Structure 1
Amino acid sequence: ERARATTLWPLFPAFTRGLIDHPLFSATDLGRVKQLPTVGPPEMLLAAQRAFPHARVMNAYGMTETSAIIVLPEHGESLEHRVEWSGTPFRGIEARIIDPETGGPAHPGEIGELLVRGYCILDGYYREPQKTADTIDDEGWLHTGDLCLMDEEGRVAFRGRLKDMLKVGGENVAALEIEAFISSHSAVRHVEVVGVPDPRLDEVPVAFVEVYDGDGITEDALIEFCEGSLASYKVPRHIRFVEPYEWPMSATKVDKTALRERIQEELGAGRAPRRSAVQTLDDHRLAL
């Protein structure tokens, strides 16, 4: 930015909130930035749009295995649409959604695993033939491991990682759905949800939350906030508050495996999962 040459700035969810909350952000002239492709809950994208009023915030889709971004909203799409949908794949890229359990095609609007193929898909993983075979099928489809849905016009919306899907008493629960709701609370700066084993329900959700400095919100208050709007089996059984420097990070995102291991170790040390009376009633119904 010293050369004032930045016009497009891809953002990662783990960095977005820290960037726009930085004390020097408001004093920095970023008016030349016109395009902000990112991904995350709608509330985060809306916050990014408010912070960059001269830029076009877009819910992009891409991964290392696709060489770069391969899905972006069409020019002229409304902000309300751009925070929910990534748009249609670029020319030369095919995409479809399958049921991750059966492998059959998903219907328009149904959440499933996104498969893509085309000119920019990797040939394979270096010296990892088994991983390559597990990821790219015989027809050249890359199994992304991402949960998405597609409408009748072929527009794609990201809904989370397949490995982040929780199985609570037989119900599929996307961690991203819980994260998006908790992110809407004014005290919450960042949230990550993981599943932990449960002897009756297979697993239950736990939320790691970073709040704004000076906010005294409690675990009970956040859980009560969730109970007012989420189905009870989606309400986190625990809230763990995290300082900004405590997030375990990979290159570009929070390491959920490390968070899962952290809470499992804690609960294994003797603390029983928190559970309200309403949750217990619904848990019993799910287990029947």
Structure 2
Amino acid sequence: MAASPPPLPVAERQAATAQAFDPWRPRTLYDMLVHAAERHPDRPYLITDAQTWSYRQMADWAASVAGGLVAAGVRPGDHVGLVMANYPAFAALKFAIAAVGAVAVPVNILNRRDELAYVLRQSRAVMLVAMDRFRDLDYLGMLDEIAPGWETRGGGAALPDLRTVVVFKAEGDGRAGATTFGALEGDAGALPRVDPTAPADIIYTSGTTGAPKGVVLTHDMLLRAAFGSAYARAFEDGRRIHFSLPMNHVYGYVEGLLAVLFAGGAIVPDLKFDPRATLRAVEHHKATDLLLIPTMTLAVLDALADTPVDTTSLRGMLSSGGRTPPGLWDRILATFHGIEITTGYGMSECTASTTVTRPDDPTDRLRTTNGRLRDVGPAGDPAIGHRLVDYRVVDPRTGAVLSPGEVGELMAKGPGVTAGYYDKPEATAEAFDADGWLHTGDLGRVDAEGYLSLVGRVKESYRCGGEQVTPSEIEDVLMIHPSVLQAHVAPAPDDRMGEIGVAFVVVRPGHALDPQALIEWCAARLARFKVPRHILPIDAADVPLTASGRPRKFLLSRMAMERLDLS
């Protein structure tokens, strides 16, 4: 399948993007939408199978919803919760919240009752806009248990800050007596002046190692990061991005919804991931770019075998987050000739991706790194190489700064790094060192040319018989076995060794799990203390993941203890 060649070389596309926004002018999210609508009023901004919204239509819709928020009593600085999948209304509501100077609290749509209650209570949300149902989740039923009578009384004693609940009819029947999303749409009226350096979002970390915390991000931080995506990945004019990653997380939100604003492009969001639906969307809507995590990328490549579609519109692909299976990059290049593949690294605390491979980097950079520290042109800080985030690597035990190429904890600092976690001063103080560097919790290295390579998580490492074990090393060995599609290693307690490794394996279709064979495979390639004691089967759908595709290892450890009866 031959992809269309890019219209201009990478450097020329980057220069055109930089020129349009140099010097950088801080804006709010809503102001940026209005600016894009003035430049490209009739271009498509959001495309679905059922309808397309132009930039002008989306700006008008957002202004209408903003008027409804004001009429409902939402004021600058108020927190508004969103439990909404990738519906077009998510975009309209997101920009509307920004327009009135309120702060959005996008909630992970996979959250269950207690998780939802925690986020709403901890964020002190005054309004919640929630779907009635989505897939197997009944959000109104959850609210019935959390705060009975919410339809007319808000959150009551359980959620004292919550004044209003608005119901978005998604896959259910709504709720009689409750305020509907349609009722929010009103006259735009006069909107307040909003400071671009004010908070725009509180995004809760999914937590690979513990309870979620609310990361505070400003309008200007988000837009600088989104510009950085368009610039570093060399968007052509009108780039059209398809994704099913949830917009309640920075990946789909910043790299998709916001990034296309800087290229007059469009997003083609899906409500849920299906590899065949992804391919059909590329063909039907002429998508030029895909946002994926590696497991999704593999599924799309596999689906091509029995899904005859025209993918020649594709020019770019970002496959990032989670571990990259061996051979993935070569498969992509062999399948989509001429495609510009990029990968990166980031976290909510740093707004979005902070490293990325260049579209014209050698393939070896894809195979061996998570990208170069991201130059974002006029949106960056000249003092740190026009970047938003700088990194250094330190010894996790002593805090000593390590030389290029040495493995240690990655520390981040710069204008793209959050000032802290909402209403959690102790967690904020613990997250930063005395010089203001953020502990990422990630183990990695940065080479002399500024390319970063992830190794694992500091807290996911464990000691077996006193020896330090990094799970990613074992996972890499397991994933080159022909029967293994995914491997996730987590520690479990052991009376003699202190901790042992337990490997959860997703088996490739057509293969059977042979735990002893996999243990012997590891024993032939790893030191004895690194060989997992147990190999357990798991379905891909049952692997507990963060929104960015990282396995939640503390939950896997808990699952291991339950299945092995180690509690």
**Same fold flag (TM > 0.5):** yes
Which range moved further: 212-221 or 13-22? Answer: 13-22
Q: What are the equivalent positions in structure 2 for 1:84-103 lying under 5 Å apart?
A: 84-90=368-374, 91-92=386-387, 93-103=389-399
Q: Does structure 1 residue 266 correspond to structure 2 residue 547? A: no
The answer to whether the 8 Å contact 2:341/2:359 transfers is: no
- CA distance in 1 between counterparts of 2:478 and 2:338 reads 28
- Alignment CA distance shift 1:87-1:213 (3 Å): closer
Identity fraction in percent: 33
Match of 1:203 in 2: 499
Q: Does structure 1 residue 242 correspond to structure 2 residue 525? A: no
Q: CA deviation at 1:98?
A: 0.4
Deviation sequence 1:36-79 (CA, Å, 0-9, x none)? 24142351643444454442333311111111111112454321
The answer to whether the 8 Å contact 1:41/1:179 transfers is: no
- CA distance in 2 between counterparts of 1:205 and 1:112 reads 21
- CA distance in 2 between counterparts of 1:25 and 1:100 reads 48
User: Gaps (5+ residues) in structure 2?
Assistant: 1-281, 375-385
The answer to whether the 8 Å contact 2:396/2:409 transfers is: yes
Match of 2:479 in 1: 183
Match of 1:119 in 2: 415
CA RMSD of aligned residues (A): 2.4
User: Gaps (5+ residues) in structure 1?
Assistant: 271-288
Q: CA deviation at 1:162?
A: 1.3
- Alignment CA distance shift 1:13-1:222 (3 Å): same
- Aligned residue for 1:206, secondary structure, equals strand
Match of 1:283 in 2: none
Q: Does structure 1 residue 34 correspond to structure 2 residue 316? A: yes
Match of 1:22 in 2: 303
Q: By percentage of residues, which structure has more helix?
A: 2
- Aligned residue for 1:119, secondary structure, equals coil
The answer to whether the 8 Å contact 2:506/2:540 transfers is: yes
- CA distance in 2 between counterparts of 1:169 and 1:101 reads 19
The answer to whether the 8 Å contact 2:340/2:359 transfers is: no
Q: How many residues align?
A: 269
Q: Does structure 1 residue 5 correspond to structure 2 residue 287? A: yes
- Alignment CA distance shift 1:240-1:50 (3 Å): farther
Q: CA deviation at 1:181?
A: 1.4
Q: Does structure 1 residue 64 correspond to structure 2 residue 348? A: yes
Match of 2:510 in 1: 214
Amino acid at match of 2:364: E
Q: By percentage of residues, which structure has more strand?
A: 1
Q: Does structure 1 residue 83 correspond to structure 2 residue 329? A: no
**What's the TM-score once normalised by structure 1's chain length?**
0.83
- Alignment CA distance shift 1:151-1:113 (3 Å): same
- CA distance in 2 between counterparts of 1:267 and 1:3 reads 48
Q: CA deviation at 1:214?
A: 2.3
Q: CA deviation at 1:105?
A: 1.3
- CA distance in 1 between counterparts of 2:336 and 2:530 reads 33
- Choose which of 416, 435, 446 in structure 2 pairs with 1:139: 435
- Alignment CA distance shift 1:146-1:269 (3 Å): closer
Amino acid at match of 1:18: A
